[in-house]
Amino acid sequence: MSFNNSSACYNDTNHINILPVCIYSFISVLGLILNLTALVFFFSQTKSRSQTIVYMTNLAIADTLLILTLPMRIYYHLGFEGLPPWLCDVLGLVLKANMYGSIFLLTCICFDRCMALCFPMSLHVQQGRRKAPLVCLGIWIFTFGTSLPIYLSRHTKVNNEHCFDNLPIYAMQTVVVLPTLILGFGFPLVIMVICSWGLVRAVQQSTVAQTKLVDSRKIYRMIATSLLIFLISFLPYHATLALLSQYSNISCPMRIAYRYSLMVACLNTVLDPIAYYFTTNTFRRSVEISTVQRMFPLSS
């Protein structure tokens, strides 16, 4: 495989790449604040911890771990040198594993909501939903377990000189990128679309919704928000990945497109907590109450 080694494709020493620095800084600061706030709330729900809260807690942890890899990317795009190759590999592994962990956890949240609403009286469904901690454990093992062998083979196949500007090894091998696209994005997307359709149908057929005791528009907004966040965050990245796998000579614009699509995927760490706020009534009330208490500490 031949690459275009134009300096525009890579970040040079003592040269600040301003756009990645700004975007990653924004994600790091805002995402860390929002996810830590979410984790404080989720861990405080010891008495009313639902299956959805279990998935959301693990999602917030995955997003936080991803965010913790971004300061080194900011350091690199500021033009500093001295990052060892092994650190570039480890941080790349953590970012990609947590990104796909977030995808699977978002899918589980959507599936769990669908099962809870469509089959509220099914004993088997309720028993299956109680296995949420085991499902989360399986997701952690799967994402890191499948990513680790790929990154262990990186040194023998890829020049690691340019650290975070290097394309991931799975973007260069069709035998790897195809399962990544299918299992890491296509399959979760299909599940989310089917579950979203099932949720909409269940709400439309619900007698409670028809009597206006429940605002069905809020439920529709929740469904649309979850699906939209998923598509905005991960569709550009995987579309770029699919294009990269089709070419043996990867041009400079394609490298830049991959770099920016990865930034968009990282933006998911900011969008997830916003989704918690707008789709979880208890979380919204708790955040609003705690904010008021901090603003007016002497108020009853």
CB neighbours of residue 127 within 10 Å: 9
pLDDT value at 288 more than 60: no
CA distances from 15 to 1, 80, 121, 211, 277 (A): 28, 8, 61, 62, 39
194 vs 189: CA distance, rounded Å: 9
- Give me the pLDDT at residue 46, please: 67
- Give me the pLDDT at residue 249, please: 73
Categorize the per-residue pLDDT at 6 as very low, low, confident or very high, splitting at 50, 70 and 90.
Answer: very low
The model's pTM: 0.82
| Mean pLDDT of the 199-225 span | 70
Residue 274 domain-assigned (yes or no): yes
Residue 298 domain-assigned (yes or no): no
CATH number at residue 157: 1.20.1070.10
- Give me the pLDDT at residue 215, please: 60
Question: Of 151-160, 242-251, 284-293, which has the strongest mean pLDDT?
Answer: 242-251
Residue 207 domain-assigned (yes or no): yes
Count of residues for the chain? 300
pLDDT value at 164 more than 60: yes
Residue 29 domain-assigned (yes or no): yes
Residue 245 domain-assigned (yes or no): yes
Residue 178 domain-assigned (yes or no): yes
Residue 2 domain-assigned (yes or no): no
Q: Check if the beta carbon of residue 56 is closer than 8 Å to that of residue 134.
A: no
Residue 294 CA to chain centroid, in angstroms?
30
- Give me the pLDDT at residue 297, please: 52
Q: What's the chain's average pLDDT?
A: 78
Categorize the per-residue pLDDT at 296 as very low, low, confident or very high, splitting at 50, 70 and 90.
Answer: very low
Tokens 């978002």, located at residue: 106
Residue 140 domain-assigned (yes or no): yes
Q: pLDDT (tens digit, 9 = 90+) per residue, 27-51?
A: 999 999 999 988 888 888 766 667 8
Q: pLDDT (tens digit, 9 = 90+) per residue, 40-83?
A: 888 887 666 678 888 889 999 999 999 999 999 898 888 777 77
Domain boundaries, position 102: 10-287
Total domains in the chain come to: 1
- Give me the pLDDT at residue 165, please: 74
